[in-house]
Amino acid sequence: MAQEVMAFFDGRIVPLKDANVSIATHAFNYGTGVFEGLRGYWNADTEDLYVVQPAPHFARLKRSARVLHIDLPYSVEELVDVTRKLLRANQFREDVYIRPLAYKADAAIKVGLSGISSAFAMFALPMGDYVPTAGISVAVSSWRRIADNMIPSRAKVTGAYVNAALSSDQAKADGYDEAIMLGDDGQVSEASSSNLFMVRNGVLITPPVTSDILEGVTRQIVFDLAQEFGIPTDVRPIDRTELYSADELFLCGTGVQMAGVTQVDRRPVGTGKPGPITEKIQQEYFRLVRGRSPKFRDYVSAVYHD
């Protein structure tokens, strides 16, 4: 890694310490920003850093920005190019997390979205596992997942993540690794900051996009891997008590990666260990993200070698 971490700010690559905004910035005061989370994985064999699904992530960022009337003048291709240049400037040779942000940038005391200028910035930092991937315990949170008609759940809105923070903090204070959130209808939505998959009778099941979930990029990768392995899938509502009788559970997302769930509300999931479907998908996922899966090589973008 370069001695000084660099960021993309005001249209150019600058030292991260100089990429600052005023405390009067609208996004800082009202949460009027959107963001993405991408990961880059170092492969020592090829001596390259692989960014996972950059184009789908930036396409989602542009959709999120549209919801909040944020002007994001870069195309998806330009954003991918900026990411590659930023990572090269930092000379990372380890796993990293990449955070692009589009936000309302004016110093303005005004509750609204229109007539306020927009800005874009991005930084990246080294990052390992966000949660243990070999088996985690979760609790069903007393905090409900925000409904789409309250704050758009399919947009990654900065202010909305207070909802995730409250549920995650509660779970950790109670001795769990993560929280599962229910929607206003009482059915399973997702974890605090990741999607959820359940296995029952050999079928891989996940809540629909209408269950106030984030339409996850990693969620789609799971579907693609399941199809490759011939694992049947079903998208349908999930009741809370189904979590207690599931054969397998796992979380997926850029941050959590692929994490098997071995306990829900102090009840073991299946045998109390990650199950065979979880392990099969997880193993292939970790090959994919480091550019080691020929079948899914186009899911990652190399930073140092075109």
Contacting residues for 286 by C-beta, under 8 A, at least 6 apart = 257, 258
Catalytic residue among 17, 156, 273, 295: 156
Q: What is the pLDDT of residues 159-216, one digit of tens each?
A: 999 999 999 999 999 999 999 999 999 999 999 999 999 999 999 999 999 999 999 9
Q: What is the pLDDT of residues 56-85, one digit of tens each?
A: 999 999 999 999 999 999 999 999 999 999
Please report which residue ranges of the chain form alpha helices under DSSP H: 26-30, 54-67, 76-90, 161-173, 217-229, 240-245, 276-288
156 carries an active-site annotation = yes
What integer pLDDT is reported at residue 128 of this predicted model? 80
- β-partners of residue 35 are 101
Could you check whether 6-126 and 136-288 share the same CATH topology?
no
CATH of domain 136-288: 3.20.10.10
Q: How far apart are CA 64 and CA 34, in angstroms?
A: 6
> What number of CA atoms fall less than 13 Å from residue 261's CA on the CB side?
33
CA distances from 190 to 5, 22, 69, 207 (A): 33, 34, 26, 8
The pLDDT of 259-286, averaged and rounded, is 97
What are the boundaries of each domain within the chain?
6-126, 136-288
Give the residue from 53, 127, 126, 128 showing the smallest Cα distance to 91: 126
What is the pTM assigned to this prediction?
0.95
Counting residues of the chain whose pLDDT is more than 90, the rounded percentage is 96
N residues, the chain? 306
Decide which of 3.40.50.300, 3.30.360.10, 3.30.470.10, 3.40.350.10 is the CATH code for 6-126: 3.30.470.10
**Is the pLDDT confidence value at 131 over 90?**
no
Q: How far apart are CA 200 and CA 222, in angstroms?
A: 16
Q: Tokens for 258, please give them.
A: 């692929």
User: Hey, how many other C-beta atoms are within 10 angstroms of the C-beta on 294?
Assistant: 8
Counting residues of the chain whose pLDDT is more than 70, the rounded percentage is 99
